[in-house]
């Protein structure tokens, strides 16, 4: 078994006839069939192979296999964005009349997706406080199809108690899905801790330099055990009429990502571009090294902010004073990533600081090598109501910081000057 950093550089790539060291960009819409029998076999899944790049692509395949290896999963499927990954993870299990349970403390896009967009499709979302997962128990019923949460939450920077969540989920035979975007598999591997699915915005640390939008869904080994014969997931156990009677739980293949590919990518089509998959492959090569530095600098900056008289509160799970410290010690190994937030007096003060930094750039993103400062209440969470803002843990005086890879002391000096 290879270690993380070796997997990040080699897994999932078998050199083709050209023996290229770098993974090639297979920039092609479609693939030639040897003959009509070969074509029919591919469509019938008697043989696995390339058909059309909305469904699969050899460059994307390397990205998927490599990401799956890093997460300790069985298989993965790339998508055009993190939001597409989250939507497909939900749409793969829930339909009109069903419900999902989601943490209140999630990325703003996930809040609008779960609270508004899927509601229009008849899927209800019931919310729990990630700091109090016992609430899940009272929300479950026979129509509950998924429990969705972020391992490290954005932007409130809480850490999920994965054991507490999976214990309830497993008792009711419900799938769990962790958005592992902020923690990355370098610090947390939810699939090896009992979660069933992981989703990511690859647009963040996976690319690492803010180069491309993308997402991925990874499923754990032996997920079929939880799905086969489980009436909650009847659509995996009954013939899929849209795929001439295929029963997913009968296949000797990782069934969750396969169904996303064959049904959702086929019909909804948010497939990644091969070029973006190639960028993510480059990003993964240095992910371990970058994440160590992101986390080291973030901890130093958190300590500086904590000692600053004008800072009311610092949210970083690596600080011993933080309410998430014990949970973080349990689930995050080797660091707490590069995301932190801090609270100042009020909205105006926060806006003044965000406007005054020079190295920290005002951008609605995280997970870049370039340091970023965001004022969530006026940007990423702007579409949330005052009540939703409080529930998401985003007061007006909150500033979110994504610590980049610049010199740590330069970053501290920049914040010192801006806060005044």
**Binding segment for ligand PLP among 36-44, 75-83, 281-289, 383-391 (CB under 6 A)?**
75-83
Binding mask 212-251 for ligand PLP (x = CB under 6 A): -x-x------------------------------------
CA end-to-end span of the chain = 51
Kindly report the backbone phi and psi dihedral angles of residue 41, in degrees, each rounded to the nearest multiple of 5, phi listed first: -60, -40
Closest by CA position to 196, among listed 255, 252, 253, 108: 255
Helix (H, G, I), strand (E, B) or coil at 354: helix
Q: Where are the beta strands (DSSP E) in 151-268?
A: 175-179, 197-201, 215-219
Q: What torsion, rounded to 10 degrees, do the Cα atoms 246, 248, 250, 253 define? A: 120
Helix (H, G, I), strand (E, B) or coil at 345: coil
CB atoms < 10 A from the CB of 47, how many?
12
Under the binding rule (CB under 6 A), the answer on residue 181 touching ligand PLP is yes
Find where tokens 């209800």 sit: 124
Tally DSSP H helices, then E strands, for the chain.
18, 12
Distance CA 224, CA 228 (A): 6
Under the binding rule (CB under 6 A), the answer on residue 168 touching ligand PLP is no
Under the binding rule (CB under 6 A), the answer on residue 201 touching ligand PLP is yes
Nearer to ligand PLP, 161 or 179 (CB): 179
Under the binding rule (CB under 6 A), the answer on residue 57 touching ligand PLP is no
Under the binding rule (CB under 6 A), the answer on residue 79 touching ligand PLP is no
Residue 338 CB, nearest approach to ligand PLP (Å): 12
Nearer to ligand PLP, 92 or 249 (CB): 92
Buried b (16+ CB within 10 A) or exposed e, 94-108: beeebbbbbbbbbbb
Among positions 82-111, residues that touch ligand PLP (CB under 6 A) are 82-83, 107, 109
Distance CA 150, CA 108 (A): 12
Question: Rg of the chain over CA atoms, in angstroms?
Answer: 21
Kindly report the backbone phi and psi dihedral angles of residue 175, in degrees, each rounded to the nearest multiple of 5, phi listed first: -75, 145
Q: Where are the beta strands (DSSP E) in 166-243?
A: 175-179, 197-201, 215-219
Residue 89 CB, nearest approach to ligand PLP (Å): 11
Among 53, 57, 68, 81, binds ligand PLP (CB under 6 A): 81
Residue 154 CB, nearest approach to ligand PLP (Å): 4
Nearer to ligand PLP, 53 or 207 (CB): 207
**Binding segment for ligand PLP among 3-11, 139-147, 175-183, 240-248 (CB under 6 A)?**
175-183
Structure tokens of 264? 């959702």
**Binding segment for ligand PLP among 14-22, 39-47, 78-86, 264-272 (CB under 6 A)?**
78-86
Report yes or no: 42 and 56 within 8 Å, Cβ to Cβ. no
Give the count of residues interacting with ligand PLP (CB under 6 A): 15
Residue 104 CB, nearest approach to ligand PLP (Å): 14
Residue 152 CB, nearest approach to ligand PLP (Å): 8
* Chain residue whose CB lies nearest ligand PLP: 82
Find where tokens 């240095």 sit: 286
Binding mask 360-399 for ligand PLP (x = CB under 6 A): ------x---------------------------------
List Cβ<8 Å contacts ≥24 apart for 245-249: 246/45, 249/224
Residue 413 CB, nearest approach to ligand PLP (Å): 27
Among positions 138-157, residues that touch ligand PLP (CB under 6 A) are 150, 154
**Binding segment for ligand PLP among 18-26, 178-186, 237-245, 300-308 (CB under 6 A)?**
178-186
Nearer to ligand PLP, 144 or 201 (CB): 201
Nearer to ligand PLP, 368 or 414 (CB): 368
Q: Cα separations (Å) of 134 from 157, 163, 195, 196, 198?
A: 20, 11, 17, 19, 21
Nearer to ligand PLP, 68 or 154 (CB): 154
Contacts with ligand PLP by CB under 6 A lie at: 81-83, 107, 109, 150, 154, 179, 181-182, 201, 203, 213, 215, 366
């Amino acid at each position: 078994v290879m270690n993380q950093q070796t997997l990040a550089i080699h897994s999932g790539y078998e050199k083709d006839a050209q023996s290229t060291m770098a993974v090639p960009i297979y920039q092609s819409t479609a693939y030639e069939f040897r003959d009509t029998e070969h074509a029919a076999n591919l469509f019938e899944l008697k043989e696995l192979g390339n058909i059309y790049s909305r469904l699969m692509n050899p460059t994307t395949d390397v990205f998927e296999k490599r990401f799956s290896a890093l997460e300790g999963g069985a298989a993965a499927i790339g998508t055009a964005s993190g939001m597409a990954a989250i939507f497909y993870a939900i749409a793969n299990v829930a339909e009109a009349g069903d419900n999902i349970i989601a943490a209140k403390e999630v990325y703003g896009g996930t809040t609008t997706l779960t609270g508004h967009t899927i509601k229009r499709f008849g899927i209800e979302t019931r919310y729990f406080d990630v700091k109090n997962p016992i609430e899940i128990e009272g929300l479950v019923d026979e129509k509950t199809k998924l429990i969705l949460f972020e391992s490290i939450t954005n932007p409130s920077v809480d850490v999920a108690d994965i054991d507490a969540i999976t214990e309830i989920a497993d008792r009711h035979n419900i799938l769990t899905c962790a958005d592992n975007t902020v923690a990355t598999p370098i610090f947390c591997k939810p699939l090896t801790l009992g979660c069933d699915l992981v989703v990511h915005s690859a647009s963040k640390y996976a690319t690492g330099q803010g180069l491309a939008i993308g997402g991925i869904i990874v499923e754990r080994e032996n997920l079929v055990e939880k799905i086969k014969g489980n009436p909650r997931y009847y659509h995996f156990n009954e013939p899929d009429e849209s795929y001439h009677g295929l029963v997913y739980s009968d296949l000797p293949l990782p069934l969750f990502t396969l169904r996303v590919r064959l049904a959702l990518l086929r019909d909804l089509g948010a497939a990644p571009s091969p070029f973006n998959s190639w960028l993510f492959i480059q990003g993964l090569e240095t992910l371990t090294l970058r994440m160590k530095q992101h986390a080291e600098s973030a901890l130093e900056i958190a300590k500086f902010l904590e000692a600053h008289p004008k800072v009311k509160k610092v949210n970083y799970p690596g600080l011993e004073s933080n309410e998430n410290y014990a949970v973080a010690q349990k689930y995050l190994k080797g660091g707490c990533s590069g995301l932190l937030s801090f609270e100042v007096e009020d909205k105006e003060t926060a806006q003044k600081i965000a406007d005054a930094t020079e190295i920290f750039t005002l951008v609605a993103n995280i997970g870049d090598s370039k340091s970023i400062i965001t004022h969530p209440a006026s940007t990423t969470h702007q579409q949330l109501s005052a009540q939703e803002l409080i529930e998401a843990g985003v007061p007006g005086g909150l500033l979110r910081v994504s610590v980049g890879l610049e010199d740590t002391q330069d970053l501290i000096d920049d914040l010192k000057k801006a806060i005044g």
